[in-house]
Structure 1
Amino acid sequence: MRIGLLGTGPWARMVHAPALSAHGELDFAGVWGRRTAAAKDLAERHGTHAFDDLDALLAEVDAVAVALPPHIQADLAVRAARAHCHLLLDKPLAATVEQGRAVVEALRETGVASVVFFTTRFQPEPAAWIAEQAARDWFTARAQWLGAVFTGDSPFADSPWRREKGALWDVGPHALSVLLPVLGDVRRVTAAAHGPGDTVHAVLDHVGGASSTLTLSLTAPPAAAGATVELRGEAGVTLLPEASQDAVAAYTRATDALLTAARTGRPHPCDAAFGLRVTEILAAAETELTRDTD
């Protein structure tokens, strides 16, 4: 499969490009970015080509990996799908529900495959834990995803979209990607409130009868940063295990998933439709936060 990369930011440099260039079943065919010089530099580092024209890249590849802000990713994903390119997308799928629906509709029209890179879902230990817990009944869950992006030394501190959308949209997708397959879909967001900095608290009512709480932040003190998911039910108490593999290894597994979906025609559980559902829940939580502000 010939694949191109859209984006040249920190995540593209740290994860996407290294994983794509090292993959044995991919031909890393090129890089396109909004900054031409950055695209050329990234392409040179990985022995591929930089494209000034996005349509020229789309015409040369079978798939694209996207490492761009969600509002830009969604529009370009529609464009790429209509060029019959399979899509390896980042989270969140889109910045609005309408954008997310446009992506899913374009995929339905063209029949191309999609995978959204929810990191935890592609790490072996967490993925195995999620599959195991999904077979059990749970009473309640607590998910804390606390980052120090804006309080520590993070390469993402200059990200405009993260400053605008905050923790809800940046780390909220990670938490939901774990909770939804275990507790079932969210029936409604029953409450949401602001905490210190960009911290968000939310309460979710799941269709299976369980409830969950989220605490999300990009402004936590560095010493308090980390992710925890705790489930409680008749089986007792269990915690999401730590991953032994880094993001590059997880991204390689996501790429494998896209290859399989493209070859078989069977949707992956983390496809764009799942990404859209996550986007809808984030938007509902955002609505509740607006009420909290009012």
Structure 2
Amino acid sequence: MTKATRIGLLGTGPWAARTHAPALAAHPEVEFSGVWGRRPDAAAGIAAEYGTRAYGDVDALFAASDAVAVALPPDVQAPLASRAAAAGCHLLLDKPVATSVAGAREVALAAEKAQVASVVFCTLRFAEETAPWVEEQAAAGGWYLARAHWLGALFTPGSTSAYAASPWRREKGALWDVGPHVLSVLLPVLGDVTELVAAPGPDDTRQLALRHAGGAASSALLSLSTPAAAADVGLTLHGDRGVVSMPRWGDAVASFTSAVTALLTAARTGTPHPCDARFGLRLTEILARAESGATES
């Protein structure tokens, strides 16, 4: 039998508890090696639920792990991911890798220097409904326009979401929280962004107009403050084959499980995954330009 890969979890918030921990505990090729968090009591609770160990010293968890999965705010994630890479741990990162280009670059360089595998968990690239769709449209080509919208109600009065209390989401808004998801589809299908214009809307709403290396244009409307009755997510491509729309997706745990498998494959084969730390850096570069309102060309 192949020895299980030891993967530790950094983070104890709702995303870690609801998605990362159950996926790591159930994965047949993984030994869930432990949990570290900024709230020791929460780390102990997750560890007890899944039969693993809570660590008070993050470096001790690195030493006991072959890889780490990170469910922390992006600018807490970045320096810890760099330390984990330096300790020889493969990296399963959350999006965005960081909210500064310098932070994301540090992670990408640390992974390359340590020669560890990395995967950034952009949900649409791993969900069983959307991942093959993205690959199919990228292979087909011939796209002329794309229209994307991610209109969430996270910050709408009356929201009961556990993520509404997230300080970094409150500060950075939809651009940084859901923008990576949209870009993670647009870039492989249409090509890298060569020109960018960003315009603000109400509350945290941002509208992006993008030009891509393949010649296509795209637009993305992003918000976490949409009235609940108007919340919706969609992405439509227009091209030689007509109009196609991205399918809906479901279970976050199943999607994260696929990301774990992708990291294990990249670590075993030495072949970088398309959604690696270098891709995460590129997403951060684009989002930082959009945040500044500047044009990229």
TM-score (norm 1): 0.96
In 1, Cα distance between equivalents of 2:63 and 2:226:
44
Q: Which residue of 2 aligns with 1:237?
A: 243
Q: Give the letter for the 1:155 counterpart.
A: A
Cα RMSD, aligned residues only: 1.1
Q: How many residues align?
A: 288
Match of 1:167 among 166, 174, 179: 174
Q: Give the letter for the 1:192 counterpart.
A: A
1:233, distance to aligned residue in structure 2 (A): 1.4
Unmatched runs of 5 consecutive residues or more in structure 1: none
In 1, Cα distance between equivalents of 2:221 and 2:8:
35
Mapping of residues 44-63 of structure 1, within 5 Å: 44-63=48-67
Q: Deviations over 1:232-275 (max 9, x none)?
A: 112111100112x4000000000000000000000001111111
Query: SS where residue 100 of structure 1 aligns?
Result: helix
Query: SS where residue 147 of structure 2 aligns?
Result: strand
Q: Which residue of 2 aligns with 1:33?
A: 37
In 2, Cα distance between equivalents of 1:271 and 1:118:
10
1:12, distance to aligned residue in structure 2 (A): 0.3
Q: Give the letter for the 1:8 counterpart.
A: T
In 2, Cα distance between equivalents of 1:143 and 1:114:
27
Query: SS where residue 211 of structure 2 aligns?
Result: strand
Q: Which residue of 1 aligns with 2:224?
A: 218
Q: Which residue of 1 aligns with 2:195?
A: 188
Match of 1:271 among 256, 269, 276: 276
Determine whether 1:86 maps to 2:90.
yes
In 2, Cα distance between equivalents of 1:259 and 1:186:
29
Q: Deviations over 1:77-123 (max 9, x none)?
A: 00000000000000001110000110011011110000000011101
1:147, distance to aligned residue in structure 2 (A): 1.1
Q: Deviations over 1:40-87 (max 9, x none)?
A: 111111111000011111111100000000001001000000000000
Determine whether 1:128 maps to 2:132.
yes
Q: Give the letter for the 1:217 counterpart.
A: S
Q: Deviations over 1:109-157 (max 9, x none)?
A: 1100000000111012211111111122111111101111111221101
In 2, Cα distance between equivalents of 1:50 and 1:74:
21
1:171, distance to aligned residue in structure 2 (A): 0.2
Q: Which residue of 2 aligns with 1:95?
A: 99
TM-score (norm 2): 0.95
Determine whether 1:280 maps to 2:257.
no
Unmatched runs of 5 consecutive residues or more in structure 2: none
In 2, Cα distance between equivalents of 1:199 and 1:25:
41
In 1, Cα distance between equivalents of 2:22 and 2:34:
13
Using the aligned pairs only, state the percent identity. Answer: 62
1:226, distance to aligned residue in structure 2 (A): 2.2
- Native 8 Å contact 1:203 1:211 kept in 2: yes
